[in-house]
Amino acid sequence: MSDPRPGALHFGIGTFAFQYDDAHGDPVPGSQVLRDVVEEAVAAEQAGLDSFGIAEHYRRGMMDSAAPVVLAAIASRTQTLRLGTAVTVLSTQDPVRVYNEFATLDAVSAGRAQMIVGRGSAIESFPLFGFDLADYEALFDEKLDLLMRLLRDQPVTWAGRFRPPLTDQVLEPPVAAGAIPVWAGVGGSPQSVIRAARFGLPLMFGVIGGPLSRFVGLSRLFRQAAAEFGQVEQPVGIHAHGYLADTDEEAIEAFWPVWSGMMNAEAPKRGWAPYRRDRFDADIAAGSLLVGSAETVAHRLATGMQLVGATRFDFVAAGSRMAHADKLDSIRRFGTEVVPRVRALLDPSPTERAAR
Amino acid sequence: MTGGIDPIRRVSILGAGRVGTALARTLVDAGYQVTLAGSGDPEAVEMIAAFTAPGARARWARDATSDADLVVLALPLHRLPSLDPTILADRVVVDAMNYWPPVDGIIARFEGARHGTSIEVRDVLGLDRLVKTFNHTGYHDLEPDRRERGHPDRLGMAVAGDDADDVAAVVEVVERIGYDAVALQRLEFGRLIQPGGAIFGARPTADDIRRTLRPLIQRAA
């Protein structure tokens, strides 16, 4: 089973489960943030969206440290929504445990589990779980190999550097080979793109800025590499942040303090210079930050997806940093106003097609 | 005319990742003959080059550097020990790398690099013609931020090195790809343009760079 099929459009919501301040400026308790995430997922399904994805971090103010648990809660409140991650930091997890959790999630949700796996750009999980950053690349290669074997071809006999070997191992609950879609999340490294092609995985570009055009060559590279590895062609997706409001101006002014605050909190940790308004405006114009009215965002998104050859888009509504009500509002606007417009722009009706 | 060394025509980039491929595209665009080399067989790099830097040729690192006027180091810093320094002997070499613990892991030598990471790179590889540049812009900004000479929004790029002729040759490359170069006449000033420094990732103009770095350089002198 291949899902989503190449060519079929897929629109999801992503979240980092950021803690936010209430109307009095006090931080909302983390437990409440997680219950809000469940409500946001329910809203995503009601707005007609295809999937909901939770990130993985281990830092103050971010509640996304145990995605499968939250996804299981969402499963009990939804019927059609696919439940996934964005991303699972596979480098510092045990693929056996990841299998256990997602096979269980797939069971309780009647086949709705999916995931995006990546190396992660945040590194807190390395010291936390006792891994050495020097093994950054080797860890991911080995763990992806084991996870894909567990998902595709049990019983598994396997040996590697980072966990005990497996001999004729069968894990429960069972999952049909390939039934849980696994996407490879990449930030733009050609080597990561080729790795995804080698494993025959669909490819998700994580975008935090810069022109989308930089993914065009990588997207072509992915398709060519998959063909050379003898793999079936797999879809390409884009994961990006944004905020929707009635007008472009309203959305831009409301999102600027949120996004610049987020980037500038990260800047000293990563040696970045302060994030400036000219960059923000450029990222919005280039379609790597989807901020504006539904109509504006729909056009930028359709253009961006076409440019990159993407059929999936995951929207991190309100940068996932704004208040619950703002996130709900952006999720609803995205599902009910942006997505139908993008679908129409990307996939015209047969009559329109015939007229071309 | 500076006239110290012949103008650069052939550029060899070591590292075919995000940075290497972005530099390759930019240099091809500016009319340079560009070769791209990864850590091993060029066959693996050939496909990357074909799609992400059309016009650049994939070669073994040794062949690529043998006839290059300029070699650009664009590999992850933790891979530096895998590089054979003999292939860099007598070449003008650009260090476009940054020490990036999330990718490189903690490397004591670079953690404690008081004079900047380029000085360590110079010493590890035993180079005497090292120039630091390209590193303070994001790999995804390098192309969209290019502007023709004289454009009011043209941005700056700092070029730090000990040999004035080598710096001048690299300055010409930087100018030609689309930035106003600001020469810093000591390699150790590279520390001012690395992560944590005031202009790193800041998309500065040449004036911004001069204004920001002048007091820091004067203090160091």
Burial of B219 (0-12, 13-18, 19+ CB in 10 A): exposed
Q: Is residue B5 part of a domain?
A: no
Name the minimum distance, in Å, from the CA of B184 to any CA of chain A: 20
Q: Which of A139, A198, A214 to mutate to test the interface with B (most CBs of B within 10 A)?
A: A214
The whole-angstrom separation of Cα B99 and Cα B118 is: 10
In this prediction, residue B111 carries a pLDDT of: 93
pLDDT one-digit tens code per residue, B23-62:
999 999 999 999 999 987 898 899 999 999 999 999 999 9
- The total number of structural domains that make up chain B: 1
The structure tokens listed for B148 are 């023709």
Average pLDDT over residues A53-58: 96
> What is the amino acid identity at position A10?
H
Average pLDDT over residues B143-155: 94
CATH topology of domain A10-355: TIM Barrel (3.20.20)
Continuous H helices in A130-247: 136-152, 190-198, 216-228
Percent of chain B past pLDDT 70, that is, above it, reads 98
CA distances from A17 to A29, A132, A195, A256, B167 (A): 12, 27, 29, 19, 48
In this prediction, residue A1 carries a pLDDT of: 35
Name the minimum distance, in Å, from the CA of A15 to any CA of chain B: 22
Q: Is residue B161 part of a domain?
A: yes
Are β-strands B130-132 and B156-161 bridged in parallel, bridged antiparallel, or unpaired?
antiparallel
In this prediction, residue A356 carries a pLDDT of: 47
Q: Given a cut of 90, is residue A203 above it in pLDDT?
A: yes
How does residue A6 score in pLDDT terms, banded at 50, 70 and 90? low
In this prediction, residue B139 carries a pLDDT of: 87
In this prediction, residue B159 carries a pLDDT of: 98
Burial of A107 (0-12, 13-18, 19+ CB in 10 A): middle
Interface touch B52/A218, C-beta < 8 Å: yes
Q: Is residue B2 part of a domain?
A: no
How does residue B2 score in pLDDT terms, banded at 50, 70 and 90? very low
Please identify which residue in the block is written with the tokens 């999980």: A125
In this prediction, residue B55 carries a pLDDT of: 97
In this prediction, residue A272 carries a pLDDT of: 73
Interface touch A224/B196, C-beta < 8 Å: no
Backbone angles phi and psi of B64, in degrees to 5: -65, -35
Average pLDDT over residues A105-119: 97
How does residue A97 score in pLDDT terms, banded at 50, 70 and 90? very high
How does residue A119 score in pLDDT terms, banded at 50, 70 and 90? confident
The residue range of the domain holding B140 is: 10-220
Q: Given a cut of 60, is residue A350 above it in pLDDT?
A: no
Q: Where are the beta strands (DSSP E) in chain A?
A: 10-15, 51-54, 82-85, 88-89, 115-118, 156-158, 166-169, 182-186, 203-206, 236-244, 289-292, 312-317
Kindly report the CATH number assigned to the domain that includes residue B65. 3.40.50.720
Q: Is residue B3 part of a domain?
A: no
A20-24, A167-171, A338-342, B94-98: least confidently modelled range: A20-24
Continuous H helices in A84-206: 95-108, 125-129, 136-152, 190-198
How does residue A122 score in pLDDT terms, banded at 50, 70 and 90? confident
Q: Is residue B170 part of a domain?
A: yes
> Roughly what angle, to the nearest 10 degrees, separates helices B18-29 and B164-177?
80
Q: Given a cut of 50, is residue A285 above it in pLDDT?
A: yes
In this prediction, residue B3 carries a pLDDT of: 53
pLDDT one-digit tens code per residue, A295-335:
999 999 999 999 999 999 999 998 888 999 999 999 999 99
The whole-angstrom separation of Cα A260 and Cα A284 is: 13
pLDDT one-digit tens code per residue, A174-195:
999 999 999 999 998 999 999 9
A221 CB neighbours in chain B (<8 A) are: 47-48, 50-52
In this prediction, residue A354 carries a pLDDT of: 54
Q: Given a cut of 50, is residue B137 above it in pLDDT?
A: yes
Q: What's the mean per-residue pLDDT of chain A?
A: 93
In this prediction, residue A286 carries a pLDDT of: 86
Chains A, B: CB contacts within 8 A come to 88
Q: Is A26 on the interface with B (CB under 8 A)?
A: no
Q: Is residue B40 part of a domain?
A: yes
A residues 124-143 lying closer than 8 A (beta carbon) to B: 132-136
* ipTM of the complex as predicted: 0.86
Q: Is residue B4 part of a domain?
A: no
Q: Given a cut of 70, is residue A3 above it in pLDDT?
A: no
In this prediction, residue A5 carries a pLDDT of: 54
| Cβ contact B94:B134 at 8 Å | yes
Beta bridge partners of A118: A89
| Cβ contact B193:B160 at 8 Å | yes
Q: Given a cut of 80, is residue A271 above it in pLDDT?
A: no
B53 CB neighbours in chain A (<8 A) are: 217
Q: Given a cut of 50, is residue B1 above it in pLDDT?
A: no
What's the whole-model pTM score?
A: 0.91
Q: Given a cut of 90, is residue A352 above it in pLDDT?
A: no
Q: Is residue B214 part of a domain?
A: yes
Task: Find the chain B residues whose C-beta atoms sit closer than 8 A to any C-beta of A.
Answer: 16-18, 21-22, 44, 47-48, 50-54, 78, 98, 101-106, 138-141, 143-144, 194-203
The whole-angstrom separation of Cα B203 and Cα B136 is: 8
Q: Given a cut of 50, is residue A2 above it in pLDDT?
A: no
Half-sphere exposure of A133 (CA within 13 A, CB side): 18
Interface touch B138/A210, C-beta < 8 Å: yes
Average pLDDT over residues A343-351: 78
In sequence order, the 6+-apart residues with CB closer than 8 A to the CB of A152 are A177, A178
> What is the amino acid identity at position A140?
F
